[in-house]
């Protein structure tokens, strides 16, 4: 039998390696930015065209490379970061595998220009699909410039799997945020299709967070500082009232490397226990510094996951540090018995006044049997005999006969009712707002509410039990879908424009959905880099719910990442229905219950919610009778 195992050609092996390193343009951005940081650059410029599909260019002012190093950098497993296996556990740099440039060059057109400070001239190399097209001397400033053009030009299948430009740009922006936040001592600039997206100078960590996520972020931050023998923590967490529906502002950095850790994230959530609303997430920007020997960062191709030697200790320290910061800045409720025992809350007016001994005064002229006549009823000219007390104003019943004076002036008001009450007005009773139009509803006692969660109704064959939240989601979903499709929505104008603040990334998501949102009834008067001004909302949508609706929409878009107009429209309708549907625990009157039943079965698909979960169940009489057997 002939041999069947053979060595792969270099270009095939490079393409396979590229599949691990480069999934999308954002992967190229990450690798090139990290190489620039390892080159000790103080200024890094990122230039993108067509969301990275046409061009990804990173320019830095680092130390550059020699002629030999420039050529070797495109070979597989070529790196200046490690020399032995032991160095893997002493890493303080980013690109240590030595496959980034080789993998990128295998699937794109790459042009490299680099020069060291002591050299007069630099080196320029052009590579297409792992094939070196040219290498020559060139005039270039100190540092390195890497241009990656026509990504996946030789792998059409991989290029077809790329998402829309808006989605790919969002991934690139996320990678830029992670690198820029981890290195506030480096100046970054980011350009897309000639537009300036970010331009942040060298600054401290708080300034870097505010520069990237907007000036309103400054009031949300609570500093966290803790240093132990095992772990050093620095950074910020968000105040509970600024928690978000999305996890877009959650950042862990271990030794200046962005990581994802559900375990450590759980430590943060436990520190916020009792402070957050349901389905809301805290924001945090935390830097963790640990001994490189105690972590293994080589367990995942993208290096976003790290293995810790002692996760339980890190969990306890991180949870305690965050909880202490929230309590220290009076964010979390605390009970300090020592403070309560030794200090009194003195009003400001009495703070500096001397303490005086209370004096006892006795009215020696007080006569409990003395009486005087004073007018009592403002509606009659009669006077009432009351007992005269001391100057304190208290009155006693006096003699036993004076109780009759209490009823003087309370005669029938039929004679003077017109003069006495002609000017009196009565306040109307408050009316509770209803989520349904009660005028169009026939109220019948055929339904009732169970546990403020289910609506129970009768059927000829038995009993119908409806989940009120899922049913209302289905009703709203079909209404919104119809409005977006037909483009006939009614909007209610706001008395005062509503100004909401989001990150540039979130603003981009809302801009992409602006036309669909307007078809549902939203009216946008202005969209800036970090601010949205709304002058109109759909009928029936409370102004206080607008921010929550948009946050839920952003979260759904980031999780589902739609590409087609149909899925975008469908996702928008689902997101708004989920935000505005009545919640479990909300009480409904008989009219609202009846209207919900009728509206649900008027839907095209009443059986399931927009998330394909059942909206109701039925129980036949036979099933009920079996329960009594």
**Residue-level pLDDT at 505:** 76
Residue count (the chain): 629
Rounded Cα gap, residues 254 and 297, in angstroms: 10
CB of 618 closer than 8 Å to CB of 466 = no
Check residue 487 and give its pLDDT: 66
The confidence band for 273, taking pLDDT boundaries of 50, 70 and 90, is: confident
- Per-residue pLDDT of 127-172, as tens digits, reads 998 888 999 999 999 999 999 999 988 888 888 888 888 888 888 9
DSSP state of 533: E
- Where does the pLDDT of residue 60 fall: very low under 50, low under 70, confident under 90, or very high at 90 and above? very high
The answer, yes or no, to whether residue 629 has pLDDT greater than 70, is yes
pLDDT band at residue 622 using 50, 70 and 90 as cut-offs? confident
Q: Which CATH class is domain 212-328?
A: alpha beta
pLDDT at residue 74 in the model: 84
Angle formed at CA 374 by CA 368 and CA 377, multiple of 5 degrees: 125
pLDDT, tens only, 166-202: 888 888 998 999 999 999 999 999 999 988 888 999 9
Determine the Cα–Cα distance for residues 505 and 38; give it in Å rounded to an integer.
27
Which residues of 181-271 form beta strands (DSSP E)?
Answer: 187-192, 195-200, 221-227, 232-238, 250-254, 257-259
* Closest residue by Cα to residue 577 from 484, 482, 478, 477: 477
The pLDDT, as a whole number, for residue 441 is 43
- The domain 438-618 is placed in CATH, from the list 3.40.1160.10, 3.40.190.10, 3.30.1370.100, 3.10.105.10, at 3.30.1370.100
- Each domain of the chain, given as residue ranges in start order, spans 10-200, 212-328, 366-405, 438-618
Give the separation between CA 219 and CA 199, rounded to whole angstroms.
Answer: 22
87 DSSP 8-state letter: G
Report the pLDDT averaged over residues 233-239.
Answer: 92
pLDDT-derived band at 402 (thresholds 50, 70, 90) equals low
Predicted confidence (pLDDT) per residue in 27-54, tens digit:
999 989 988 998 889 999 999 999 999 9
Residue 181 structure tokens: 């936040």
Write out the DSSP string of 117-171: TT-SSEEEEEEETTEEEEEEEE---SEEEEEEESTTTT-HHHHHT---HHHHHHH
pLDDT band, very low/low/confident/very high, at 350 (cuts 50, 70, 90) = low
Q: What is the mean predicted confidence (pLDDT) over 319-325?
A: 91
For residue 237, what pLDDT is reported? 93
pLDDT at 439: 45
The answer, yes or no, to whether residue 387 has pLDDT greater than 50, is no
Is the pLDDT at 294 greater than 90? The verdict is no
The token duo for 58 is 């990173």
Measured between alpha carbons, how far apart are the two ends of the chain, in Å? 73
pLDDT tens digits for range 562-595:
554 456 677 778 888 888 888 888 888 888 888 8
Give the Cα separation of 395 and 384 in Å (integer): 13
Six-digit token string for 448: 């009732």
At residue 411, the pLDDT reads: 55
The band of 318, judged by pLDDT with boundaries at 50, 70 and 90, is: very high
Six token digits for residue 187 = 């100046």
Assess whether pLDDT exceeds 90 at residue 286: yes
Q: Strands across the sheet with 257-259, in order?
A: 221-227, 232-238, 284-289, 250-254, 257-259
For residue 416, what pLDDT is reported? Answer: 54
pLDDT band at 396 (very low <50, low <70, confident <90, very high): very low
235 or 292, which is more confident = 235
Contact in structure between 103 and 18 (CB atoms under 8 Å) = yes
Q: Distances from the Cα of 33 to the Cαs of 94, 105, 342, 590, in angstroms?
A: 10, 16, 56, 62
Task: Give the model's pLDDT for residue 564.
Answer: 47
Looking at the predicted structure, is the pLDDT value of residue 285 above 90?
yes
Task: Give me the residue label for tokens 């030999």.
Answer: 68
pLDDT in tens, 407-442: 555 555 445 555 555 555 555 555 555 554 444 444
pLDDT digits 0-9 by tens, 368-381 = 777 655 555 444 44
Cβ-based burial of 262 (10 A; exposed 0-12, middle 13-18, buried ≥19): exposed
Give me the CATH code for the 10-200 domain, please. 3.30.565.10
Is residue 463 classed exposed, middle or buried when 0-12, 13-18 and 19+ CB atoms within 10 A define those classes? middle
What's the CA gap between 534 and 495, in Å, rounded? 11
Query: What's the pLDDT score for residue 182?
Result: 92
Alpha helix positions (H), 188-342: 205-213, 262-271, 311-328, 337-342
Instruction: Report the pLDDT value the prediction gives residue 96, as an integer from 0 to 100.
Output: 47
According to DSSP, residue 460 is labeled S
At residue 574, the pLDDT reads 83
Q: Are 614 and 608 in contact (CB under 8 A)?
A: yes
CB 612 within 8 A of CB 589: no
pLDDT tens-digit series, residues 527-562: 877 788 888 888 777 787 888 888 878 877 776 655
The percentage of the chain sitting over the pLDDT mark of 70, rounded to a whole number, equals: 75
More confident position, 534 or 404: 534
Average pLDDT over residues 76-84: 60
Cα distance between residue 501 and residue 260, in whole Å = 26
Q: 442: which residues sit within 8 A by CB, 6+ positions away?
A: 594
**CB neighbour list of residue 494: distance below 8 Å, 6 or more residues apart:** 534, 535, 536, 537, 543
Looking at residue 157, its pLDDT comes to 82
Average pLDDT, the chain: 79
Task: Note the pLDDT tens digit of each residue in 479-494.
Answer: 888 877 776 667 788 8
Tokens 């960590």 belong to residue: 205
CA nearest neighbour of 106 among 19, 193, 5: 19
pLDDT beyond 70 at 58: yes
What's the angle, vertex CA 253, arms to CA 247 and CA 257, rounded to 5? 120
């Amino acid at each position: 039998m002939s041999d069947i195992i053979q060595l792969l050609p270099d270009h095939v092996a490079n393409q396979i390696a590229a599949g691990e390193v480069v999934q999308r343009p954002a992967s190229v951005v990450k690798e090139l930015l990290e190489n620039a940081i390892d080159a000790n650059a103080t200024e890094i410029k990122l230039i993108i065209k067509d969301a990275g599909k046409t061009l990804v260019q990173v320019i830095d002012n680092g130390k550059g490379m020699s002629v030999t190093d420039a050529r070797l950098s495109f070979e597989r497993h070529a790196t200046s970061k490690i020399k032995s296996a032991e160095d893997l556990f002493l890493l303080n740099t980013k690109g240590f595998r030595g496959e980034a440039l080789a993998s990128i060059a295998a699937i794109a057109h790459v042009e490299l220009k680099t020069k060291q400070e002591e050299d007069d001239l630099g080196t320029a190399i052009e590579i297409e699909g792992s094939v070196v097209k040219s290498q020559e001397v060139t005039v270039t400033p100190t540092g390195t410039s890497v241009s990656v053009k026509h990504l996946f030009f030789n792998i059409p299948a991989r290029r077809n799997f790329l998402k829309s430009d808006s989605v790919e740009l969002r991934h690139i922006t996320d990678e830029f945020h992670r690198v820029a936040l981890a290195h506030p001592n480096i100046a970054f600039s980011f350009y897309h299709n000639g537009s300036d997206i970010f331009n942040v100078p060298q600054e401290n960590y708080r300034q870097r967070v505010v520069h990237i996520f907007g000036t309103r972020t400054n009031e949300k931050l609570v500093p966290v500082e803790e240093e132990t023998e095992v772990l050093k923590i620095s950074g910020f967490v968000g105040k509970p009232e600024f928690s978000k529906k999305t996890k877009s502002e959650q950042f862990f950095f271990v030794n200046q490397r962005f990581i994802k850790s559900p375990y450590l994230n759980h430590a943060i959530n436990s520190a916020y226990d009792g402070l957050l609303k349901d389905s809301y997430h805290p924001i945090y920007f935390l830097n963790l510094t640990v001994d490189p020997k105690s972590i293994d960062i080589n367990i995942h191709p993208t290096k976003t996951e790290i293995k810790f030697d002692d996760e339980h200790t890190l969990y306890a320290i991180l949870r305690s540090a965050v909880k202490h910061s929230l309590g220290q800045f009076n964010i979390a409720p605390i009970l300090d018995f020592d403070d309560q025992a030794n200090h009194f809350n003195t009003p400001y007016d009495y703070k500096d006044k001397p303490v005086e001994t209370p004096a006892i005064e006795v009215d020696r002229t007080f006569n409990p049997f003395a009486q005087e006549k004073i007018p009592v009823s403002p509606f009659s000219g009669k006077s009432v005999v009351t007992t005269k007390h001391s100057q304190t104003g208290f009155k006693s019943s006096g003699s036993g006969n004076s109780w009759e004076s209490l009823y003087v002036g309370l005669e029938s008001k039929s004679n003077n009712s017109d003069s006495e009450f002609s000017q009196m007005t009565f306040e109307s009773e408050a009316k509770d707002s209803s989520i349904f139009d009660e005028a169009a509803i026939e109220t019948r006692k055929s339904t009732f509410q169970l546990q403020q969660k289910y609506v129970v109704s009768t059927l000829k064959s038995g009993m119908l039990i409806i989940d009120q939240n899922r049913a209302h989601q289905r009703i709203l979903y079909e209404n919104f879908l119809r409005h977006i499709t037909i483009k006939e929505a009614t909007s209610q104008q706001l008395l005062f424009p509503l100004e909401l603040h989001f990150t540039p990334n979130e603003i981009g998501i809302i801009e992409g959905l602006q036309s669909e949102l307007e078809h549902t009834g939203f009216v946008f008067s202005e969209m800036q880099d970090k601010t949205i001004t709304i002058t109109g909302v759909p009928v029936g949508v409370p102004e206080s719910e607008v921010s929550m609706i948009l946050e839920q929409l952003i979260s759904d878009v980031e999780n589902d990442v739609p590409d087609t107009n149909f899925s975008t429209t469908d996702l928008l309708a689902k997101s708004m229905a989920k935000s505005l549907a009545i919640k479990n625990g909300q009480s409904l009157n008989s009219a609202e219950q009846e209207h919900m039943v009728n509206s649900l079965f008027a839907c095209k698909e009443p059986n399931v919610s927009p998330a394909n979960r059942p909206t109701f169940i039925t129980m036949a009489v036979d099933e009920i009778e079996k329960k009594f057997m």
